[in-house]
Amino acid sequence: MKILVPVKRVVDYNVKVRVKSDGTGVDIANVKMSMNPFDEIAVEEAVRLKEKGAATEIIAVSCGVTPCQETLRTAMAIGADRAILVETTEELQPLAVAKLLKALVDKEQPGLVILGKQAIDDDCNQTGQMLAALADLPQATFASKVEVADGCAKVTREVDGGLETISISLPAIVTTDLRLNEPRYVTLPNIMKAKKKPLELLKPVDLGVDVTPRLKTLKVSEPPKRGAGVKVPDAATLVAKLKNEAKVI
């Protein structure tokens, strides 16, 4: 069984992002970029499934600019066998990415597509669901445990009331949550091996996909700064302030 793992290059989660002065977006000039943490969990889970004998090949996929190759090399250092980069300078929105992934699913015919539930830059949480709809495949979102056997995947999902366990037939789409696993540390020998693994370059036109943005960002602004707290002498004053000033009760 093949496993397809889409990964996204995002601003590193340790970096405090800055909004551009003209409000058109986030400033990413000279900012450290890395693999989206949820996607890193997805790669780790795919490697674990391969180590258990449930998969034979892991294909990492990314869509975006040329430096995304670094993200794919990281995925291969974790354990992916080969990589595909759909190279474009266009702004890629979830629907465009889902269409590109659908074309790759048709091309590669994987038994499982496992990807992060959302990217930490746009927080859309849409690509996995859109891909499942376009490819007409069963899906399990927010996975905290995945077991594959006998042509089915048993997935434990995190829901508002606790945990839900479902069984879906393969091929299928799974999106990962934070508690699924802890990604392994990438060692230097594996980084060196990753440089020799095959990385295929494609363009959206090669897959017959139109990636023209459907949404327009009107303005990006930082959240308002939090005001200083105040001390109150007693509970009655606190209740009065919450009722009359904060208007939360």
pLDDT digits (tens, 9 = 90+) for 5-28: 999 999 998 988 888 888 888 888
Does residue 249 form part of some domain? no
Mean pLDDT along residues 129-154: 93
Does residue 105 form part of some domain? yes
Number of structural domains found in the chain: 1
Could you tell me the residue range of the domain that residue 76 belongs to? 2-244
Does residue 200 form part of some domain? yes
Q: Residue 142 sits in a domain of what CATH number?
A: 3.40.50.620
- Spatial distance between the Cα atoms of 62 and 72, rounded to a whole number of angstroms: 7
Contact 58, 3 (CB under 8 A): yes
- Nearest to 145, CA basis, from 36, 50, 48: 48
The string of pLDDT tens digits covering residues 48-71 is 999 999 999 999 999 999 999 999
- Spatial distance between the Cα atoms of 100 and 210, rounded to a whole number of angstroms: 9
Global pTM reads 0.85
